[in-house]
Amino acid sequence: MSTQDVRYSFIVDWYDAQASLIRQYQFLFYPRDNSIEMYDVKNKKKFFTRQRMDSISVKQLFLHNRINVCSRQLDIVDYGDEYTRISLTECQERTLALIKPDAITQSGSIIEVLEKNTSLRICDCRMVNMTYANACEFYAEHQGKPFFNGLVNHMTSGPVLALELIGDNAVSQWRNLLGATNPIEAKATMPDSIRAMFGSSLPKNACHGSDSIESACRETDFFFGRGKHSLNTTATCSETSSCVIVKPHCVLSGQFGSVVARIQAAGWDVKAVKLHNFERANAEEFYEVYKEVVQEYDMMVCELTSGPCIALEVAPMENNSSSIDDSNSVIARFKSEVAGPRDPVIAKDLDPHTLRAQFGQDKVKNCVHCTDLPDDSTLELSYCFQILCE
């Protein structure tokens, strides 16, 4: 089949809230001109006439992902034909990337290296505290080896950030970027590898990566499968923290790591991380305070539901805090010093180093949402790290 004729087919579900029904469609994507069309599976009729859709890309088309078409959230539940199944699964894999406690304060820079040097995409992520039992279970294959106790002790010494990555040959792509297990060897053989740049010694080698497709399946299930509730969240939902949501346009364009790196470089600690695919009802509830206040409210809701977004809890690092820091000053400082004005055009003029100046496109696609009012901090954090995780 020539490039001109390539067409990918998927089965997608859409929840029709008015009818309280799940409606199923065949979703067709044409990479040549980035166009889509849809057919109603039950009625066997065309539902959406073919047209270009720049907000959709082939990178978003994988099982269990959610995409947004004309404000409708569609869940990809199956492949629509064998050609699509074979074409997109032959090399596409999932793997686990785990940022260890020794490198957690450099997690943004590590993810930035990942996003700039591979074709892999983040399809899930969460920051957790591993218990002794968690670590023993995760590293069960190494039990009895001389380094086992040291490894378990290290993995329970602080928070870890787990990322589920998807893409062509994901296991080997991530392992190659990591470099040798021993950072000293990595510095000598692959100085540009992650362990060479961010690791120091064993077991403090910055990151873990699944060593096979079988291991990747087990390890991603450990952090993101049914047993995930046995892992303790790192979220504190403190009044002296701010809720930050990295918006879908940044996540999908591979800028999440760059955003986090700049937050950390500015002297802010990322205390919790969780990826969400917002339902429209959830997005409307989260943004309710802006409904009668901000003209772009409806567009803000659409943007938040247009793809994966990543919620962060941030607070000043010890060397960036002051004796007068309270909820008012923390919220105000992050907004002015890190996020910048809501309009990226104004942000570029007032402070070109802020997140919205560097990564924002307009008032809606402005890189991040951050807590505006001190009284909302605990509410927003609880919503992202407790209510949506139930």
Task: Return the active site residues.
Answer: 208
Give the Å distances, CA to CA, from 97 to 114, 147, 329: 10, 21, 35
CA nearest neighbour of 56 among 70, 44, 45, 42: 70
If one counts every other C-beta atom within 10 angstroms of the C-beta of residue 38, the result is: 20
User: Which own/partner pairs from 156-159 qualify as long-range (CB within 8 Å, at least 24 positions apart)?
Assistant: 156/129, 156/130, 156/131, 156/132, 157/101, 158/101, 158/102, 158/104, 158/129, 159/101, 159/104, 159/127, 159/128, 159/129, 159/234, 159/271
CA 159 to chain centre: 17
Contact call for residues 219 and 173 (beta carbons, < 8 A): no
DSSP secondary structure string, 130-153? PPHHHHHHHTGGGTTSTTHHHHHH
Give the Å distances, CA to CA, from 89 to 52, 204, 290: 25, 34, 42
Backbone angles phi, psi at 320, to 5 degrees: -115, 0
